[in-house]
C-alpha cells in the first residue's frame, strides 16, 4: 500500500502579518503533497476561506483541511469578535488577547489527539504548541515571521547586552558576534515599543518553548542572506529551512487580490488606474495592518505626498478618515493619487509595472513582497524588529532610501504621538526614489536581480523549493522512526 500523506497541523498567530504567510505556507506544503490542516477562528477563517476554496477545487493539489476554534472572549475579558490583533479596540487589550490565545491550548491538544498529525508548524507567538508537541510525541517547527538577519541581531543584543554600555538612546553601538559589523541604537530596539502592556510573561514563555522546538521554517530566501541563515543555525543549534518568499505561491490575480482579506477596492478599478500610469511612476504607500498614525502625522504625510508631485497609491486604515485632517485632499490629487481605505491587494499592486517604489513600515512580509516584485523601498520603521529590517534593506540589500526616522512609536500610543516626519522630509524622500538618476537606476537594477533570485528560489530545483522537500523528507523520516519505535514497544509489551 502507498503510505499516507505526511500530515502537518499549521497554527497561525491571529495577526495579519503572521496569519497571511502561514496560510501561504500551508498552501505551499499542499502543493508538495503534504496533507495540511490550518487551525483558526471563525472570523479569521473568513479572511482566507475563498482562497483555500479555490485551492481545494484544483485537482492538482492535496486539499487543505480547516479546524475552527471559538475564541473565549468573555473568559479573557475581550469584546466579542476581537479575533485578530487588528480588531482590538485598543492596544491596551493586548494582554487580554494573549490570555484568550493561551486558552486555545486544551482544545488544540484535543484536535492533535484525535487527528494524529505527524508534525506541528506553529507561530512563535503560540508557545503552548511546544507542550502539545511534546505530549503527543511529534516535532514542533516554529515559524517566526522575520528574516534571519533580524533574528540574529535580536539574539546578539540579548546575548551580549552591548546597549548597557551606552548612555544615549541615539548613540550607535556594535552588535557583537554577527557575520559583519551591524550598528544599532537603543531607540531601535523592539523592547522599547511594547511599553507596559503586561506581556513580559507571555514573551518569556517563547524562550521556554524554544527548548521543545525541533527547527525553524523561515519565510526568506537563502541567497538573499546566506551568512545569516548559517549564523542563525549556529546560534540556535536548530535546523533552519528557508522556504520563501511564500507570497509567490499566489500566481492568479484573484488570489493576489484576496490574499489576507477581501480588498477594500475593486480589483479591476485598481488595475485600470495603474494601467493608466507609466512604468515605475507610482509610489505605493502602506504601513501595514497595525499602524495607526496621529492626525498630525497623517496631515504631514498627505501634504508630503502632494508636494512630491509624483503619482501614488496611499493605503489608510479604515477607521482613519482623511476628511478630519486634509480638507479637499482627494480632489486636489485625484489625477495622480488613489486612496484605499481598509485592506489593499498589496501583492497585486506591487506586481504591476507602474509601481516603482514602496513607502513601508519595514514589516518583513512587506519587505519580502517588495523584493519579490523588484520594487525599491522608502523605509519608515515604526516598532518591533522593523528598524533591524530597515538596516538589512539599506545596508545589505541596498535597495532603499531611508526616510530618516530615528525612533518609532510606542505600541498603543500611536494616535497620541507627535509628528515623526514632516512634509518636506517626506517629499524629499519620495523625490529621491521616484525621480530618474544614476543612483536610483543602480538601485532598480539591484532590485531586479533580487527579484530574479527570489523567483528562481521557489521554482522547481530552486533553493526554497529544495528546502521544502528536505523538511518534508526529514518529517517523513521521523514518522518512520516513531512507527518503528512504537512497533518495538508493542512487541515488548506482548
Q: How far is residue 351's CA from residue 247's CA, in Å, rounded to a whole number?
A: 11
Instruction: Output the nine-digit C-alpha cell for 53.
Output: 476554496
- Number of residues in the chain: 494
Catalytic-labelled residue, pool 7, 18, 55, 310: 18
Q: Is 104 a catalytic residue?
A: no
Helix (H) or strand (E) holding 10: strand 7-11
Whether residue 245 has a cis bond before it, omega within 30° of 0? yes
CB atoms within 10 A of CB 42: 13
Q: How far is residue 341's CA from residue 144's CA, in Å, rounded to a whole number?
A: 29
In degrees, rounded to 5, the angle at the alpha carbon of residue 327 between the alpha carbons of residues 322 and 330 is 65
Catalytic-labelled residue, pool 65, 86, 118, 123: 123
- The SS3 of residue 240 is strand
CB-based contacts of 253, cutoff 8 Å, min separation 6 = 267, 271, 348
DSSP per-residue string spanning 438-473: HHHHHHHHHHHHHHHHHHHHHSTTSHHHHHHHHHHH
Question: Scanning the structure block, which residue is given the C-alpha cell 542563525?
Answer: 232
Contact 158, 150 (CB under 8 A): no
Q: How far is residue 13's CA from residue 20's CA, in Å, rounded to a whole number?
A: 10
Q: In the Cβ-directed half-sphere of 26, how many Cα atoms lie within 13 Å?
A: 31
Q: How far is residue 154's CA from residue 185's CA, in Å, rounded to a whole number?
A: 12
The bridge status of strand 183-184 relative to strand 173-174 is antiparallel
Q: Is 123 a catalytic residue?
A: yes
Instruction: Just list the catalytic residues.
Output: 18, 123
Amino acid at each position: 500500500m502507498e503510505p499516507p500523506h505526511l500530515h502537518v497541523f499549521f497554527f497561525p498567530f491571529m495577526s495579519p502579518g503572521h496569519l497571511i504567510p502561514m496560510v501561504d505556507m500551508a498552501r505551499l506544503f499542499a502543493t508538495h503533497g503534504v496533507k495540511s490542516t490550518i487551525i483558526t477562528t471563525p472570523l479569521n477563517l473568513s479572511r482566507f476561506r475563498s482562497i483555500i476554496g479555490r485551492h481545494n477545487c484544483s485537482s492538482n493539489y492535496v486539499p487543505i483541511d480547516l479546524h475552527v476554534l471559538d475564541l473565549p472572549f468573555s473568559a479573557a475579558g475581550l469584546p466579542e469578535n476581537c479575533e485578530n490583533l487588528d480588531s482590538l479596540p485598543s492596544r491596551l487589550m493586548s494582554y487580554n488577547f494573549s490570555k484568550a490565545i493561551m486558552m486555545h491550548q486544551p482544545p488544540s491538544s484535543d484536535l492533535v489527539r484525535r487527528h494524529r498529525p505527524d508534525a506541528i508548524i506553529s507561530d512563535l507567538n503560540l508557545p503552548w504548541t511546544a507542550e502539545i508537541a511534546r505530549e503527543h510525541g511529534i516535532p514542533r517547527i516554529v515559524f517566526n515571521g522575520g528574516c534571519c538577519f533580524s533574528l540574529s541581531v535580536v539574539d546578539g543584543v540579548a546575548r551580549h547586552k552591548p546597549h548597557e554600555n551606552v548612555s544615549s538612546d541615539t548613540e550607535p553601538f556594535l552588535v557583537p558576534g554577527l557575520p559583519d559589523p551591524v550598528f544599532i541604537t537603543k531607540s531601535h530596539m523592539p523592547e522599547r515599543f511594547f511599553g507596559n502592556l503586561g506581556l513580559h510573561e507571555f514573551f518569556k514563555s517563547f524562550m521556554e518553548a524554544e527548548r521543545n522546538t525541533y527547527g525553524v521554517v523561515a519565510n526568506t530566501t537563502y541567497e538573499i542572506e546566506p551568512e545569516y541563515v548559517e549564523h542563525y543555525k549556529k546560534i540556535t543549534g536548530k535546523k533552519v529551512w528557508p522556504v520563501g518568499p511564500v507570497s509567490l505561491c499566489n500566481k492568479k490575480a484573484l488570489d493576489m487580490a484576496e490574499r489576507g482579506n477581501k480588498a477594500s477596492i475593486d480589483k479591476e478599478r485598481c488595475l485600470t488606474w495603474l494601467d493608466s500610469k507609466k512604468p515605475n511612476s507610482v509610489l505605493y504607500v502602506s504601513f501595514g495592518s497595525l499602524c495607526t498614525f496621529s492626525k498630525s502625522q497623517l496631515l504631514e504625510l498627505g501634504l508630503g505626498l502632494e508636494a512630491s508631485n509624483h503619482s501614488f497609491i496611499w493605503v489608510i486604515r479604515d477607521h482613519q478618515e482623511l476628511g478630519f485632517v486634509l480638507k479637499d485632499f482627494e480632489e486636489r490629487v485625484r489625477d495622480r493619487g488613489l486612496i484605499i481605505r481598509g485592506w489593499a491587494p498589496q501583492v497585486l499592486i506591487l506586481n504591476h509595472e507602474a509601481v516603482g517604489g514602496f513607502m513601508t513600515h519595514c514589516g518583513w512580509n512587506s519587505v519580502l513582497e517588495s523584493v519579490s516584485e523588484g520594487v525599491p523601498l522608502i523605509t519608515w520603521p515604526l516598532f518591533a524588529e522593523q528598524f533591524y529590517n530597515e538596516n538589512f534593506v539599506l545596508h545589505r540589500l541596498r535597495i532603499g532610501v531611508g526616510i530618516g526616522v530615528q525612533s518609532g512609536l510606542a505600541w498603543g500610543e500611536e494616535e497620541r504621538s507627535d509628528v515623526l516626519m514632516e512634509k518636506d522630509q517626506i517629499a524629499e524622500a519620495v523625490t529621491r526614489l521616484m525621480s530618474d538618476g544614476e543612483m536610483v537606476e543602480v538601485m532598480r537594477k539591484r532590485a531586479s536581480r533580487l527579484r530574479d533570485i527570489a523567483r528562481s528560489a521557489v521554482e522547481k530545483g530552486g533553493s526554497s523549493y529544495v528546502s521544502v522537500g528536505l523538511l518534508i523528507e526529514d518529517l517523513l523520516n521521523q514518522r518512520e522512526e516513531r512507527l518503528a519505535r512504537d512497533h518495538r514497544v508493542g512487541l515488548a509489551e506482548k
